[in-house]
A and B are shown apart, each in its own frame.
Chain A
Amino acid sequence: MKQSKLSLGPLLFNWPKDKVRDFYFAIADEAPVDYVTLGELVCAKRQRDRGALPAIIERLEKAGKKVILSGLALVLDEGDMTMVEDIASMAPDYLIEANDLSLVSLLRGRDHAIGPFVNIYNEASLKYYEKGGASRISLPAELPAASLRILAGAANTAALEVQVFGRMPLAISARCYHARAHGLHKDGCQYICEQDPDGLDVDTMDGQPFLAINGLQTLSHSYGNLLAELPELAGMGIRNFRLSPHNVDMVKICHLFRDRLDGKITLEQANDALEEEMFALDFSNGYYHNIAGREQVGL
């Protein structure tokens, strides 16, 4: 698994500007990742990257990391579209990851990446995006191992990527649930999502942990963890593994995944290290095993 590449997915949460900058500087300087995807995916209203982005990109590139820029997942009005067009205009200099067909259409015919919010469930759609110039494709969260294996076998020119760590993105809406949970409207949201750097937990009326919300986005309650499945994924020919940023020691988490890929630590050691960092949190790998995504198999 040594030739496998690690990538840091886009930051899904609305962290304060300084925290974002410090986070990426630490990633640039200390995390053993090959790719870092930047950009706002969830909500066009968020301002966190404005201004700091050039410095972050420079620091990451200086550290030898390849920067990918990601577009919005849900594109509705002119403001959203302007954001999409701005990102597309950076295509000659950066690899752009499309998460909506609007950006796909702007990038088609050129080298680009496809994010997990574009639906690719089968070989025919994989081929369609490959034909259009996609060189990296990050697959949707709900695909089971059987589908991943077939897609990996069918991929020709695109490098496939699977998220192996972090809360799974489950849904996106025009409605802001963070605002709604605080009795606010999306248009007067007070950027309330900033209060929850890892998302806001959603429980059932009987206190069962259920989901998490992050502005317009709904995430899994549990944190995806495919440490145990890495060898099988590599065996299928999947060489790119995405870690989704969370409010934990991500540098440490990047290291433990890298060490595991390099065979420097055992699965048990890797899981122990992960547990040590995130003892109070729940993990799951159900989607991979073709059962409910929330379930944990083999622990």
Chain B
Amino acid sequence: MTKLELVCPAGTPAALRVAVDSGADAVYMGFRDETNARNFPGLNFSVPELDEALDYAHGRGVKVLLAVNTYAAAGNADPWIKAVDTAARLKVDAIILADIGLLDYARATHPDLRLHLSVQASASNARAINHYVREFGVRRVVLPRVLTVPEIRRLNQNIDVETEVFAFGGMCPMAEGRCSLSSYITGKSPNMNGVCSPASHVSYIQQGDNLKTNLADFTINKFGPHERAGYPTLCKGRFTTNDTTGYLFEEPTSLNVTGILPDLIDAGVSALKIEGRQRSKAYVREVVQNFRQAIDAAVRGERRAIPMDNLSEGGQDTTGAYNRKWM
């Protein structure tokens, strides 16, 4: 049985230490600018902080992956180029890229730098993946959250590269890296600005005991007095089509694959990614510890679903697209 690598989010240096101490095999993070897809205020790493993080993680046998997974701006690729060069200089274990121009640059300039293909590149089939492997020597592909477990199994039979899949956290119902919903409503997009439904456009409106969540003055959801709420990510609200109102795109729910780990291992997956660089250390600690347990149990041949409702929006878990019922 393949050993599953547990890849954990580090939004801040403290979260990184927590992830490392809680059983991560690898941590991933971004620089404090638009070069990464969690470009949130107060989050991410400066160059000296990354340097310290490398010492801390490597000293404990944990790998460090740097996400440079937005698309370089036309006429101003410098921050992205600099991020790639810095990653190479500091000797991160791998860099996670989505932009084909950057992949081209990294391959040509730093041939020894290990490249992972970001989920933001949306490589969802064998031909697309093999293209990235052939052209840029990509060593691992993070699969978009649109594939079922049987599809992942067949995919792994037709490619010769490691695959990493999302295991826990916020779910994009859309193919990642190909979604402009956020910029249509707020002017800021994941691809160009590294944000989706940015906090700068969010307002929470308390109406008595009811809560209304707005994004750029559009009503994303309304919650009754004790109903579990969610962040107003614009694809996770309640909307009306014809005369029906409900969660049209996706419920405020969290992906959780602890219950299907043996199936993912069997499908040939190499690594599990925990989403949530924007979440707290408390979240990182609990999720990483639970997944460490679940993976170790799966390696012993046990199947153990661990609910983590307290951490998820809406207090619900899902296996998302891994199960065809989701479609």
List A residues at the B interface (Cβ < 8 Å). Answer: 73-78, 80-81, 84, 100-102, 104-106, 117, 119, 121-129, 140-143, 146-147, 150-151, 168, 170-177, 180-181, 185-187, 200-208, 210-211, 213, 218, 220, 286-287, 290-294
9 A-B pairs within 8 Å (CB atoms) are namely A74-B146, A81-B126, A104-B128, A128-B101, A142-B184, A174-B321, A181-B248, A205-B221, A290-B187
Q: Are B192 and A175 in contact (CB under 8 A)?
A: no
A185 to B121, CA, bound (A): 27
Q: Using an 8 Å CB-CB cutoff, how does the interface string of B46-83 with A read, 1 for contact, 0 for none?
A: 00000000000000000000000001111101000000
Whether B101 pairs with A75 at a CB distance below 8 angstroms is: no
**B180 contact from A80, A105, A168, Cβ within 8 A:** A168
Q: Using A150-B75, A171-B181 as known contacts, say yes or no to A204 and B218 having CB atoms under 8 A apart.
A: yes
Indicate if the CB atoms of A293 and B183 lie closer than 8 Å: yes
Q: Which A-chain residue is minimally distant from B222 (CB atoms)? A: A205
Determine how close the nearest CB of chain A comes to the CB of B120; give it in whole angstroms.
9
Q: Which of B73, B124, B173, B219 is the one whose CB lies under 8 Å from A147?
A: B73
**Residue in A74, A100, A122 whose beta carbon sits within 8 Å of that of B72 in the complex:** A122
- With an 8 A cutoff between CB atoms, is B281 at the interface? no
Contact A119 B191 (CB under 8 A): yes
A76 touches B124 (CB 8 A): yes
- CB of A175 within 8 A of CB of B327, answer yes
Task: Tell me, yes or no, whether B262 is within 8 Å of chain A by CB.
Answer: no
User: In the complex, are the beta carbons of A124 and B104 less than 8 A apart?
Assistant: yes
B248 touches A172 (CB 8 A): no
Q: Cβ of B203 < 8 Å from any Cβ of A? A: no
Closest 7 CB pairs of A and B: A124-B101, A174-B146, A101-B128, A102-B127, A105-B131, A121-B71, A125-B101
Instruction: Judge whether A205 and B151 touch: CB under 8 Å.
Output: no
Distance from B180 Cβ to chain A, minimum over Cβ atoms (Å): 4
Q: Chain A's interface: helix, strand, loop or mixed, by majority?
A: mixed
Among the interface residues B105, B146, B175, B221, which one has the most CB atoms of the partner chain A within 10 A? Answer: B175
Q: Mark B100-129, 1 if CB is under 8 A from A, else 0.
A: 111011000000000000000111111110
Contact B218 A119 (CB under 8 A): no
Q: Which residue of A lies closest to B130 (CB)?
A: A105
- Confirm or deny: B325 has a beta carbon within 8 angstroms of a beta carbon on chain A: yes
Q: Which residues of A contact B221 (CB under 8 A)?
A: 205
Q: Is the CB of B241 within 8 A of A122?
A: no
Q: Are the C-beta atoms of B99 and A119 separated by less than 8 Å?
A: yes
What is the CB-to-nearest-CB distance from B44 to chain A, in angstroms, rounded to a whole number?
A: 21
Given known pairs A121-B72, A173-B146, the reply for A185 and B191 (CB within 8 Å) is no
Judging by beta carbons under 8 Å apart, are B183 and A213 in contact?
A: no
Nearest CB to that of A175 among chain B residues?
A: B327
Q: Are B146 and A76 in contact (CB under 8 A)?
A: yes
Q: Which residues of A contact B168 (CB under 8 A)?
A: none
Task: Let me know if B231 is at the binding interface, CB within 8 A.
Answer: no
Q: With A168-B180, A204-B239, A218-B174 given, is the CB distance from A123 to B104 under 8 Å?
A: no
Contact indicator A181/B241 (Cβ below 8 Å): yes
How far is the CB of B4 from the nearest CB of chain A, in Å?
A: 23
Tell me, rounded to whole Å, the shortest Cβ–Cβ distance linking B119 to chain A.
13
- Looking at chain B's contact residues, the main secondary structure is mixed
- If A171-B175, A205-B240, A293-B180 touch, does A75 touch B125 (CB 8 Å cutoff)? yes
Evaluate contact between A204 and B216: CB separation under 8 angstroms. no
- Closest chain B CB from A218 CB (angstroms): 6
Interchain CA distance A81-B249 in the complex, whole Å? 25
B184 x A213 contact (CB < 8 A): no
Contact present for B128 and A105 (CB under 8 Å) = yes
A170 vs B325: C-alpha distance when bound (angstroms):
24
Would A76 and B147 be within 8 Å (CB), given that A121-B73, A218-B181 are in contact?
yes
Q: A168 touching B248 by the CB < 8 A rule? A: no
The CA-CA distance from A181 to B220 in the complex, in Å, is 17
Residues of A with C-beta under 8 A to B185 = 210, 292-294
Q: What CA separation (Å) do A129 and B151 show in the bound complex?
A: 28
Contact of A123 among B74, B147, B216, B325 (CB under 8 A): B74
**CB of B112, distance to nearest CB on chain A (Å):** 21
Inter-chain contacts of A74 with B (CB < 8 A): 122, 124, 146, 175, 178
Q: Which listed residue, A186, A187, A292, touches B216 by the CB 8 Å rule?
A: A292
CA distance A106 to B184 in the complex (A): 32
Give CA–CA (A37, B36) in the complex, Å.
Answer: 35
Knowing A150-B75, A218-B174 are in contact, say whether A124-B105 is a contact too (CB < 8 A): yes
- Check: B202 CB closer than 8 A to any chain A CB: no
Whose C-beta in chain B lies nearest to the C-beta of A203?
Answer: B240
Q: Please state if B184 and A175 are interface contacts (CB–CB under 8 Å).
A: no
Of listed A73, A143, A201, A293, residue having the most chain B CB within 10 A: A293
Chain B residues within an 8 Å CB radius of A129:
100
Contacts of B131 in A (CB 8 A): 101-102, 104-105
Q: Using CB atoms, name the residue of chain B closest to A221.
A: B184
Q: Cβ of B134: which chain A residues have Cβ within 8 Å of it?
A: 105
Contacts A74-B175, A174-B175 given; indicate if A203 touches B239 (C-beta within 8 A): yes
Q: Please indicate the chain A residues that have their CB under 8 angstroms from the CB of B100 in the complex.
A: 119, 124-125, 128-129
Q: How far is the CB of A200 from chain B (nearest CB, A)?
A: 5
